[in-house]
A and B are shown apart, each in its own frame.
Chain A
Amino acid sequence: MQRRIHHALGGDPWFVTGAGLGVFLLLLVLLGPCLAPHEPYDMSFIPLSPPSAGHWLGVNDGGMDIFSELLYGMRNTVEFGLAAGLVSLVLGVVIGLAAAWFGGVLDHVTMRLADILLAIPAVMILILIAALFRPSPLALALTLSIMLWPTTAKGIRAQALVVKNRLHIHAAGQMGASGAYIIVRHLLPELFPLYLIGFAAKARMAMFMEASLAFLGLFDPSRKSLGIMISYALKYYYLDIWWNWLLPPVFLLSLLIMTVTFLAISLEKVFDPRLKGAV
């Protein structure tokens, strides 16, 4: 099983491209503070100066180094995406497994709740909460993951119901294994591919939303974010700042979302049993 997965993923050009780009971007995120030539909040430079040896991408209207801003902005977007992806994954796995294992009322209630949450557009709830309470980005990421768990939970539940009725699970039960033991030792590991699919899809959605909400001005305006950089740079479109101020965050954000998209698409292609052979 393990070998087959390695083989299938390694042979998929989208996965290889996505993983390569992902490692590169992750390095940029982790090493960002070391790579950044200046403090991102240092406002002591000459505003709107063009690129130079000291400022690779020039200086913005507030006198801050654009290259350093870019590195810190990407960190925030990635952080938001990973946090929302991780929390919604944990929620989805716990709820999905519980619904499948216990069934009955719990199953009914959680799945109806999932239907309701699926019908509500998450971005609207986020906008309302962000506008009213001005929460920290992390709190907003948590709110988003509360909106995002249903699809993961439904996928986990469906697959867990299939696995639950397989012979080796029955055998384990016959040999006296407790419910907790079966869930931890058998169900959890066997559903592993679904976690990867769910995590990649949610992280993609969260990064996209972070950038969009930042662009719309729903975060603290002094926060470093690719979306906020784009919206500030667009205000100066009549100046000659396209190549050094407007386009770098646009390209970096597109590259980031593209990387996660490649990973999400290829994971789904390789692991989703319904899509087997569709490629």
Chain B
Amino acid sequence: MRRGRYIKPLPAFVLAGLIMVYASYRLPRLLPGDFVSALYASSPVTLTADQEAQIRAYYTRGEGFSRYLLNLFTLKWGYSYTFLAPISALILEALPWSLLLMGGAHVISMLFGFIAGVEAAWRRGGYVERAGVGCMTVLEGIPEIGTGVILLVVFALSLGWFPASGAETAYAAFSPLARVWDAAKHLALPLATLVLAYFPGNFLLTRGSMVMVLREQFVETARAKGLHPARVRYAHAARNALLPMVTRFGLRIAFMVTGALVVETIYAYPGLGTLLFNAISMRDVPLIQGIVLFSSLMVLFVNLALEYVYGWIDPRVGYAA
């Protein structure tokens, strides 16, 4: 029973991963005719005859799928002619910034969204709570493009409090401490945009499930025992309200990834999103392919990890399934 819980979600994820890899192997080969010249005809990059031959060879060489898989694991993802660098190097260079931005946004919005949701459910029906729920529902409806552009116009372009683009001031020789401060100032606006996008969902989900949990009899019992209200809220009730935030995370991830791409592009934050945007505007297909595959596999991995977190928070899941 317990071991089954760890094995059960695996096949779907392994298959999904293989499908993604196979799609990225197969789809370019389905393009008709001389697609290399067609793809680069509308691209701002002019290839030398030598480079064009290399790309054509990269796509038409008769390597099998197993060979493609092996290259994937050994970081041989091809070469970008727009940036004149190996694709693996480009992706690994952009990755830390994306992780910092998305990770930070998730940690902040989950932690505070959860606490705010629990407190709101506890104070249900008050004016402050009703106003809070209203505000959060409105915020939930505003897409990242909206918040991102408005924050950019107000705080970076109008007021000039924060830099409008990049992750660090270029060519500045800062002391380590000043460098962190500089990076934080660059991070502030994109991070705020993502937090504004993720927070309302976490808040509304937690509040909804917490309201249901507070009706359960064990909460009544805990209260009747004379426990401190904060202890009833967090040690007894909130633990059970944590679940929907985790289970819905997988469904919301498509929204979140799309939003993060847009936010990075708006602020020209040098993560995977901006790299992808540049690759798209330069029509650099091998690079687009590499980023798409890499980030899909990362999302798959996060989803799989969530399955285990889910089972760990709610042990019933393992038995029911």
Contact B258 A209 (CB under 8 A): yes
> In whole angstroms, how far apart are the Cα atoms of A123 and B292 in the complex?
9
Which of A39-47, A54-62, A129-137, A174-182 interfaces with chain B? A129-137
- With a cutoff of 8 Å between Cβ atoms, the chain A residues found around residue B69 in the complex are none
**Binary flags per residue of A197-221, CB closer than 8 Å to B gives 1, else 0:** 0000000010011011001111000
Contact B12 A112 (CB under 8 A): yes
Contact A128 B288 (CB under 8 A): yes
A190 beta carbon closer than 8 Å to chain B: no
Interface residues of B in 220-249 (CB under 8 A from A): none
Which of A3-11, A66-74, A87-95, A253-261 interfaces with chain B? A253-261
Contact A122 B254 (CB under 8 A): yes
Contact of B299 among A121, A212, A227, A260 (CB under 8 A): A121
Contact B261 A254 (CB under 8 A): no
B150 beta carbon closer than 8 Å to chain A: yes
Given contacts A112-B12, A115-B12, A216-B261, contact A254 B142 (CB under 8 A): yes
Contact B145 A120 (CB under 8 A): no
A118 beta carbon closer than 8 Å to chain B: yes
Contact A119 B13 (CB under 8 A): yes
Q: How far, in Å, is B87 (CB) from chain A's closest CB?
A: 14
Interface residues of A in 108-153 (CB under 8 A from B): 112, 115-125, 127-129, 131-133, 151
B157 beta carbon closer than 8 Å to chain A: yes
B266 beta carbon closer than 8 Å to chain A: yes
Chain A residues with a Cβ under 8 A of chain B = 14, 112, 115-125, 127-129, 131-133, 151, 205, 208-209, 211-212, 215-218, 227, 230, 234, 237, 242, 246-247, 250-251, 253-254, 257-262, 265, 275, 277-279
Chain B residues with a Cβ under 8 A of chain A = 11-13, 15-16, 19-20, 23-24, 27-28, 31, 137-138, 140-146, 149-150, 152-153, 157, 164, 204, 208-209, 211-212, 215, 250-251, 253-255, 257-259, 261-262, 265-266, 276-277, 280-281, 283, 285, 288-289, 292, 295-296, 299-300, 303-304
In the A-B complex, the 8 residue pairs with the closest CB atoms: A258-B141, A261-B141, A254-B146, A115-B12, A119-B16, A124-B296, A121-B299, A123-B258
Can you name 30 A-B pairs with beta carbons within 8 Å? Answer: A14-B137, A112-B11, A116-B19, A117-B16, A118-B250, A120-B16, A124-B295, A124-B296, A127-B280, A128-B288, A129-B27, A131-B285, A131-B289, A211-B143, A212-B259, A212-B262, A215-B145, A215-B262, A216-B265, A216-B276, A216-B277, A217-B280, A227-B145, A234-B149, A237-B164, A257-B142, A258-B141, A259-B141, A277-B211, A278-B208
